[in-house]
Amino acid sequence: MVMGKLQAVPGELQAAGTMDTKAEAISLLVDGELEHERVEHACSSLREPGCIRTWVCYHVIGDALRGVATMPAGFAARFSEHLAAEPTVLAPTRARPTPTAVAWAAAATIAAVSVVGWVALTTMPGGDVGPAIAAAKQAATIRAADARPRVDNEYLLVHQEYSPTTAIQGVRPYLRAVAASEPDARP
């Protein structure tokens, strides 16, 4: 019944109610649900152009819903011939970059290298590197015994790894501080 409203042509002299009842009768006829008494009347109304358009439209909708495709004779053969005649393209040709794009890329690369070089040179210590090498050689000659701090109490020196100043997290409340007033006093 909805399709009948869409099929009505504004210039026709038919009343909208008449077209709706005819479209409904055509819909029922296409679906095979029209009563036998009304079939003759519905078939006689198919002589009108509006009813023919409605009939064709309902059949196309029904074919589409059922998945029935009506192709012209020989369509598949013609399609296969046209498809075989087309050239096969395996890969599209690669577009060459324009000289302007190459120039901009080279300029950007040079600018990036210049910025990195400038930052590296400004952060490095300037001047002569001779004193730094001499200080490194002198540090290598110091013995481990000379690097050890002087401690009066050997007990504290031996157990320095348990000192609360080390990077042991969460142990400080369980440690006791040890202090000695005399160098050889025992806690």
pLDDT digits (tens, 9 = 90+) for 1-59: 344 444 444 444 444 556 688 889 988 888 888 888 888 888 888 888 888 899 888 88
Q: Token pair of 46, please?
A: 């198919």
Most confident of 46-55, 121-130, 147-156: 46-55
Q: pLDDT tens digits, residue range 47-104?
A: 888 888 998 888 888 878 887 766 677 888 898 899 889 888 787 788 899 999 999 9
Residue predicted with more confidence, 100 or 145:
100
**What is the arithmetic mean of pLDDT over 113-128?**
81
Residue predicted with more confidence, 102 or 138:
102
> What is the per-residue pLDDT for 180?
56
Is the predicted pLDDT of residue 168 greater than 80, yes or no?
Answer: no
> What is the per-residue pLDDT for 114?
95
Q: Which amino acid is at 159?
A: H
Is the predicted pLDDT of residue 146 greater than 90, yes or no?
Answer: no
Is the predicted pLDDT of residue 169 greater than 80, yes or no?
Answer: no
